[in-house]
Amino acid sequence: MSRKRYAVIGGGINGLSVARQLLLDNPDASVTVFEKEEAVAQHQSSHNSGVVHAGLYYEPGGLKARLCRRGVELVRNYCADNAIPYDECGKVVVALEQDELPRLDAIYKKSLANGVPGVRLVDHGELREIEPNCIGIRALHSPHTAIVSYGQIAQRIAREIEEKGGTIRLNAPVSRLIERGAQIHVELDSGEVHPEHFDYAIACSGLQSDRLAQRSGDEATPRIVPFFGQYYVIDEAFKAHVKGLIYPVPDPRFPFLGVHFTKRIDGQMTIGPNAFISMGRENYDGSRFSLRDVADFLSYPGFWKFASRNISATLRELKTVLSESVFVREAARYVPTLADVGVTPAVRGIRAQAMQNDGALVDDFVIRRQGNITHIRNAPSPGATSSMAIAEYIVREVLPRQ
């Protein structure tokens, strides 16, 4: 049997996990990862909360629910096998008002359906035992929700790929994939066509996924619309006020979760993220305005339909963008002792959110194969948690059986 050749586009945690899985399942395969930056994991993989999500919110039976639960197991085991810190600090989803209780109960039912271990509803007294400074009338406790550094995991996977004989080609931004008969050619932004052709290609290009897919012959939708989320580190003297993760009950009027407390694997405590339209798909420091990226979403009918339905959410999030004190007060609704805590700007993440023409946010993962090219078209949170499970799914279920 001839040696199969695979091209993986994107050196983030999803692309690296796919390349690793290909080599695990096909040790004789030729696998080349194309990454546009000078190092791997420079985008969403290193600009996130670091939470290993347990699977509380996702629709039972969907890809998110299935791959998140499998992903937790794979990430936990990978960290144990490679001496990478993994902290099961636990999480509470807290209801402050009576009208939030039905939504909290619905999350609990989804959690049970998704097989989340140890999850339970707790009253005010039990909540204070878990998080002594947190107020709330009821909460959902997920004791096995964990935190890691996905950047560190990605770096280790990259080394493993090379140890197994794979190739990671850096400074190699891909413009398009060209399928001619049984051969796939990789064309770089420079116009250079990679000298080797491939049997299969898997595009895991995150914030650029829609552009690469469309240039490679896939559908124009869903379109990526970037939303940034700012995190702040609280004054170290106050970090012990929160033990693990404290989240609000999601409000169906708003498309994102809302500001929450997140412990970091380095021991610091953060609040965030807010969610607001980003002026660039890779605008991590807030100063990289991209006319092309802005024009992309302003010219997209789906964006305006989304915006018209979410005016109140936009105004709420804008307040947290313009004012650190408003940002802190939003989080301090759950931990009043931190109402006046000092904060320092930390990581800013950018969510590669897929959006349909009608303005609907794509909720589940979207992984689509056309010919011998497979595109990840939507993999927001819990995409990092699910990365190794996404890789298994693509290699074992989406690609043709070898």
| pLDDT per position as a tens digit, 78-96 | 999 999 999 999 999 999 9
Whether the CB-CB separation of 168 and 185 falls below 8 Å is answered with no
Whether the bond between 248 and the residue before it is cis, its omega within 30 degrees of 0, is no
Given this model, what pLDDT does residue 401 score? 79
- Residue 338, phi then psi, degrees to nearest 5: -105, 20
Measured between alpha carbons, how far is 158 from 145 in angstroms, rounded to an integer?
Answer: 25
- Residue 143, phi then psi, degrees to nearest 5: -70, -20
Of 48, 360, 51, 96, the C-alpha closest to 251 is 96
First to last CA, the chain: 10
Given this model, what pLDDT does residue 1 score? 55
Kindly give the parts of the chain with pLDDT less than 50.
none
Given this model, what pLDDT does residue 55 score? 97
Given this model, what pLDDT does residue 41 score? 97
Whether the CB-CB separation of 198 and 180 falls below 8 Å is answered with no
Q: Would you say the C-alpha torsion 343, 346, 348, 349 has a positive or negative sign?
A: negative
The number of beta carbons lying within 10 Å of the beta carbon of residue 304 is 13
Given this model, what pLDDT does residue 402 score? 64
- Residue 85, phi then psi, degrees to nearest 5: -55, 135
pTM recorded for the entire structure: 0.96
Q: Which domains does the chain have, with CATH numbers?
A: 5-47+151-222+363-398 (3.50.50.60), 224-355 (3.30.9)
| pLDDT per position as a tens digit, 97-156 | 999 999 999 999 999 999 999 999 999 999 999 999 999 999 999 999 999 999 999 999
